[in-house]
Every structure is written in C-alpha cells, then in structure tokens.
Amino acid sequence: MHDHRLTRRGLAAVLAAPALLAAARPARAAQPWTPSKPIRIVVPFTPGQANDIFARLLADKASELSWPQARVIVENRAGAGGTIGMQSVAQSPPDGSTLVFGSLATLAINPAVMSNVPYDPERDFLPIIRIFEGPLVVVVPGKSPDRSLADLVRRIRSGNLTYASSGPGTTGHLGTELFLQGLDARATHVPYRGSGPALTDVSSGAVDFSFESAAATQPLIASGMLRALAVSSADRVPGMDLPTVAEAAGLPGYSVSGSGGVLAPAKTPPDVVAGLHAGFARAMTDAKLRARIAEASTRPLSEGPQEFARYIHDERQKWAEVARRGNIRIE
C-alpha cells in the first residue's frame, strides 16, 4: 500500500515547479513605447514659417503612418524670439505627450545673443529627430533696382538701407548680421513677429531686403512680388538658379542654413525617446513627405538623437562667436 501523503520537502517542490518553469521560458521582449494620448508639437513661432510648415507635414504623416490611434497635433506658441514656446515645453511633463519643434534660432542663436534665455538647449531638452536643413534666400522687392547681390552690396555700402527679419535672434537676423560683418558694413534691422509680415513689407518696398527661408519666400518670388538674389548655403541649391552669398558677395566661407527638428523635455525616459524617434523616422521615409520638403529647396533629413545633439553643440559655438564679434545682445 502506497502512502500518497506529501512530505514537507515534496510539497515545497510542487509549489516551486511553476516558478521554475516560468524561469526556464524565454523572457518576453519588452514592448516598444507607443503613445496613449495625442502628441502635441509646440512650434514657438507664428504660422507660415519654415519650421511651422515642416512640423505640420511631419505631424500629419506621423499620425497616418505611426500613431493613428493617438494623432499628432501642432500648436503655435510664438513670442520673445521663440523662448516662450521653448520654455513651456521644457517645463512640461516628460512623458512624450508634449514636444517642441526646435530651430537653429531657438537652439543655438538665442543662447548666444539673449541676456536671459529661460532654458538651456542642451540641459533642458533631449533631441529626437532633425528633419530638414535649407538655405536662406536673399530677397528684395520685385521692383527693386537691385538685379544682383552685387547691386545690393553697393547700395548697402552707400548707407541707410534696412533689412527685415522674422524677429530678434532668428536665423534671418543673425544670418544677415554675419553677412554685414563680412562686408564691414551696416544696415538697420527691422524685426517683425514672423516671416509673413516681414516679407509683406519687403514686397511693398517698405524695407529694402531680407534673408528668409526658401519655404517662406517661394510663393512671393513666384508671384514677382519678391526678387531672389542669392542663397546663403555653402553650395548652390538644385532647382534654384541663384549664386551663393559667398561667391556673389566675395565672402569665402559664408554659410548659413536654417534647420529644425523635434525635441522632448529633459528626463523623458529612454524608451519613450526611442519610440518617438522610431515613429517620426518612419514618417520621414514617406516619399511624398520628402518630396514636399525638397520642393521648398530644402534637404529632408532623418537625423537621430546623437547626431542632432552634436549639431546643436557645434552651432551654439559658431553663433556665440558671431554674437561676440558683432557685440550683438538682445535684452
């Protein structure tokens, strides 16, 4: 006759068996992060500028291809050269739901020229993806006497010209100042709240010239209201029959390109950063999105967090030197 009673040791073995079996099974791969609520991208400038245009294209495509269950929306929060929108995101919960579309101006130029910037681009944000790089276009009114950049340079050197920008500390502002430093000349800065009003006044002849993004200037150039004289990039731009500022003005080494991408608040968890990058990178593989960016004479990118961080660091050093050399400070 068999005794079927369990000993204390046998009972322990039975109880331990499920745990041993679970431990023996392969570990389940961690699920990639996906948003559980809408993602908001803050654009710290007014609508119609290059950063706004490209942020909206990216948001629409990411909503379609990556996160149809959550959607990606764009919110314009302009003011103080982009610092208001940047600061608002720096202070947002680091959960992936609130991001900012940072630009050369907000990430590198503002810290170089502003006395009290309420954020630090490298301390308060984590780069996610940089999506474009494109030139500024030197434009004058369609009825301007300037038929070439050399004509404009001669008039600048004669004195009393004005130039428009989309605001103090923007890429257009500092790109023009770098140009004037190279010429050892002066012109009066007329800042506006956005590219739209700035280019409206250049078109009317109220202001003499401007350095603005290809995306913002193209419609007015096509209509004849503006005349394009040169591009600010190091190389000529395919599809634009324009010289570079460096060659047309005799300024070797002159090169300025606007750029922008998505960043998250500091302390956003690594898995969230990885998930955000993967989703936006997937959107950037779309041929139609890349074509829309290229149509604006701008180069589409899909740069990862490390490369984007290196870009920010290098550009901060460049523009700090420009500000120091020109004694440019914005209070």
Mean pLDDT, contiguous 10-residue spans, the chain (331 residues) = 45 44 48 91 92 96 95 94 95 98 95 93 98 96 98 95 92 94 96 93 98 93 98 92 97 94 98 97 98 92 97 95 88 77
For residue 17, the SS3 value is: helix
| CA within 13 Å, CB half, 130 | 22
How many domains, in total, are found in the chain? 2
Do 276 and 300 share a domain, yes or no? yes
What Rg, from alpha-carbon coordinates, does the chain have? 26
- Is 30 a member of any domain? no
- Is 29 a member of any domain? no
Do 169 and 120 share a domain, yes or no? no
Nearest alpha carbon to residue 58 among 217, 261, 271, 215: 261
- Is 19 a member of any domain? no
CA dihedral defined by 75, 316, 312, 47, rounded to 10 degrees? 20
Residue 230's beta-bridge partner residues?
Answer: 138
Which domain CATH number covers 124? 3.40.190.150
Domain around 195: 135-248
Do 129 and 141 share a domain, yes or no? no
- Is 124 a member of any domain? yes
- Is 27 a member of any domain? no
Do 240 and 311 share a domain, yes or no? no
pLDDT of residue 32: 83
Do 105 and 187 share a domain, yes or no? no
Burial of 320 (0-12, 13-18, 19+ CB in 10 A): middle
- Is 282 a member of any domain? yes
Q: Are 131 and 284 in contact (CB under 8 A)?
A: yes
DSSP character string of 70-127? T-EEEEE---GGGHHHHHHHHTS-SSSSEEEEEEHIIIIIHHHHBS--SS-TTTSEEE
Do 176 and 201 share a domain, yes or no? yes
pLDDT tens digits for range 99-109: 999 999 999 99
Contacts with 150 (C-beta within 8 Å, 6 or more apart), sequence order: 248, 249
Do 149 and 286 share a domain, yes or no? no
Contacts with 88 (C-beta within 8 Å, 6 or more apart), sequence order: 42, 77
Boundary-marking domain end, from 180, 215, 248: 248
Do 85 and 221 share a domain, yes or no? no
Do 267 and 238 share a domain, yes or no? no
Rounded Cα distance, 160 and 310, in Å: 39
- Is 2 a member of any domain? no
Report the amino acid identity of residue 81. Answer: G
Boundary-marking domain end, from 224, 248, 272: 248
pLDDT of residue 331: 77
Helices and strands in the chain: count of H runs, count of E runs: 13, 10
- Is 5 a member of any domain? no
Rounded Cα distance, 116 and 110, in Å: 9
pLDDT of residue 167: 86
pLDDT of residue 77: 96
Tell me the pTM. Answer: 0.82
Boundary-marking domain end, from 219, 248, 277: 248
Do 69 and 128 share a domain, yes or no? yes
Q: Are 125 and 91 in contact (CB under 8 A)?
A: no
Q: Are 238 and 157 in contact (CB under 8 A)?
A: no
Do 121 and 263 share a domain, yes or no? yes
Which domain CATH number covers 193? 3.40.190.10
Do 267 and 322 share a domain, yes or no? yes
